[in-house]
A and B are shown apart, each in its own frame.
Chain A
């Protein structure tokens, strides 16, 4: 043997295994590791430090592996990003539709047509009666002349209507109800119709309802897409991690042979998955921003042509944080599933 006597003695000292204390207590420790840790505070804290150290080193190590193969990993992240962008964009669109929804609530009104015979004094009395109803928020009287003017304007029938001898329109009243709930509005309409001097009450709920149902439909589609594409992210990350488990199979076998726990083996892959998720999330944010720029001009032009000002919604800080946490979590979960599934198939030779 080449080693000299001095190092032999040094190693001998380091290796001094007391004969009796050999494996036995160690195996006992293996059977009740928690008990040992609890009884010895210092050992527990040193274990905790070792645990933290391994987390740090694996987090960093997996990050470096990511950088070592930038193109392949970038493609993986891009796939994740694309899967995230679609539901996120749909959700954003619906979010802006919710703003429209609030405007719809404003426009949910009842129109009360008074009898033709009603004059101004009567109409004021009726308005008082309507206002006395508990569910009424505010009312606005529209005189017959006003009504005619609006009618003319909206239909563009100036000439035909000008030929009429007398105004055929009754005095009407726009009533804003307190609750926009369809049932409550219907009940209110019935009560108002029963008032003396009221000819008819119209409530144009159908289109409000339709729009609202459409928005609800969109929301559910977004949710379903979100779930589907979330599964897609799981699969993308899972598959990538599966390949990297496969390529490091030998290493895994070796460390398991010398006593690595599953958690120890899993850790670097979980970090890789989380990095993939985070990277994909960041790319998704970038893509959303890009799409926003790309669409903002035609959208505002379109809105302007309808006489409205509408701009595409942007993901705020909260939204971005949610997106990034979701993608990171999905990446982590995908990695967990892939590694756990594969660890059971890896047995040390």
Chain B
């Protein structure tokens, strides 16, 4: 599903955020990405989202070198990926329902069908009863679940998450991770960046460990 081939990323000519990255993530796999802060986890995810292009090497997603995508194709590529952000990236002037339906609105899904899918996604994250609330009225954990609902509402084959449990207590973090595992179980490829080693070690999935932009470990739970 994802293949990094000799990928390097420099910012501003000097600072090397990522170097010599080589790895593959199979379809339907669930992978954790870990490392100290500044190790390049976010940079790696940004490359997969095609927010940036690699300075060297190729990032291949679903068989396509995504650096080759024309700027006008990038939005269509992004619609295929669900992304959960650490800071949720919710719109605070819209209800939970409208936040989750945003990807469907962008894709022009017929409103009745969109409402059905939004409710299914909200139901899945256990927030169906809050659909009319504004994000500000929700707790941090609930906001994160809204972010997850928005990421999965258009049934992406690839789900990315950047520190999805960043600000949550251990119990809520475990709940969120369990949610990701559910999506993985039905065939979604999941890639989660997290520095919560204790938590991800318990989950027994493949872990990619980055240090100073290099892949220093690739394997099962440590």
Tell me if B13 counts as interface (CB < 8 A to partner A): no
Of the candidates A2, A27, A33, A255, the one whose C-beta lies within 8 Å of that of B106 is: A255
Inter-subunit contact A27/B108 (CB<8 Å): no
Binds A, one of B3-11, B16-24, B75-83, B193-201: B75-83
The 10 tightest CB contacts between A and B, nearest first, are A50-B108, A22-B157, A30-B76, A11-B124, A259-B79, A23-B62, A259-B78, A3-B126, A2-B126, A7-B123
CB within 8 Å for A254 and B108 given contacts A17-B187, A30-B69:
no
Binds A, one of B31-39, B177-185, B204-212: B177-185
Inter-subunit contact A23/B51 (CB<8 Å): no
Cα–Cα, bound, A3→B183 (Å): 14
Tell me if A46 counts as interface (CB < 8 A to partner B): yes
Inter-subunit contact B89/A254 (CB<8 Å): yes
Tell me if A264 counts as interface (CB < 8 A to partner B): yes
Tell me if B164 counts as interface (CB < 8 A to partner A): no
Q: How many residues of B are in contact with the other chain, CB < 8 A?
A: 57
Instruction: Report B54-79 CB contacts with A as 1/0, cut-off 8 Å.
Output: 00000001111000010011011111
Inter-subunit contact A50/B109 (CB<8 Å): yes
Tell me if B152 counts as interface (CB < 8 A to partner A): yes
Inter-subunit contact B51/A18 (CB<8 Å): no
Q: Distance (Å) between the CB of A26 and the closest chain B CB? A: 5
Q: Told that A15-B188, A23-B156, A54-B105 touch, could you supply 4 new A-B pairs with CB distance under 8 A?
A: A15-B183, A49-B110, A50-B108, A259-B103
Give the residue name and chain of the A residue nearest to B85 (CB). Answer: A257
Inter-subunit contact A257/B27 (CB<8 Å): no
Q: Distance (Å) between the CB of B146 and the closest chain A CB? A: 13
Inter-subunit contact B76/A259 (CB<8 Å): yes
Cα–Cα, bound, A19→B62 (Å): 11
Cα–Cα, bound, A2→B142 (Å): 11
B residues in contact with A54, CB < 8 Å: 105, 108
Give the residue name and chain of the B residue nearest to A261 (CB). Answer: B75
Inter-subunit contact A31/B158 (CB<8 Å): no
Give the residue name and chain of the A residue nearest to B188 (CB). Answer: A17
Give the residue name and chain of the A residue nearest to B27 (CB). Answer: A19
A-B residue pairs in contact (CB < 8 Å), sample of 29: A7-B123, A8-B124, A10-B120, A11-B121, A15-B124, A22-B62, A23-B80, A23-B157, A29-B76, A30-B73, A30-B76, A30-B79, A33-B76, A47-B108, A50-B107, A50-B108, A50-B109, A250-B91, A254-B89, A254-B102, A255-B106, A257-B51, A257-B85, A258-B83, A259-B77, A259-B103, A259-B106, A259-B107, A260-B106
A residues in contact with B186, CB < 8 Å: 12, 15-17
Cα–Cα, bound, A16→B117 (Å): 13
Cα–Cα, bound, A24→B156 (Å): 11
A residues in contact with B123, CB < 8 Å: 3, 7, 10-11
Inter-subunit contact B80/A257 (CB<8 Å): no
Tell me if A216 counts as interface (CB < 8 A to partner B): no
Cα–Cα, bound, A134→B77 (Å): 78
* Contacts from B to A (Cβ < 8 Å): 1, 27-28, 49, 51, 61-64, 69, 72-73, 75-81, 83, 85, 89-91, 93, 102-103, 105-111, 117, 120-121, 123-126, 128, 150, 152, 155-158, 175, 178-179, 182-183, 186-189
Q: Distance (Å) between the CB of A102 and the closest chain B CB? A: 55
Give the residue name and chain of the B residue nearest to A50 (CB). Answer: B108
Q: Distance (Å) between the CB of A20 and the closest chain B CB? A: 8
Q: Distance (Å) between the CB of B31 and the closest chain A CB? A: 16
Q: Distance (Å) between the CB of A348 and the closest chain B CB? A: 6
Instruction: Report A253-278 CB contacts with B as 1/0, cut-off 8 Å.
Output: 11111111110100000000000000
CB within 8 Å for A31 and B102 given contacts A15-B152, A23-B80, A258-B83:
no
A residues in contact with B90, CB < 8 Å: 254
Of the candidates A10, A17, A259, the one whose C-beta lies within 8 Å of that of B75 is: A259
Cα–Cα, bound, A54→B109 (Å): 10
Inter-subunit contact B120/A11 (CB<8 Å): yes
- Most A CB contacts (10 A, CB to CB) among B106, B178, B188 go to B106
Tell me if A347 counts as interface (CB < 8 A to partner B): yes
A residues in contact with B187, CB < 8 Å: 16-19, 22
Give the residue name and chain of the B residue nearest to A253 (CB). Answer: B89
Tell me if A14 counts as interface (CB < 8 A to partner B): yes
Inter-subunit contact A27/B75 (CB<8 Å): no
Of the candidates A1, A26, A27, A262, the one whose C-beta lies within 8 Å of that of B175 is: A1
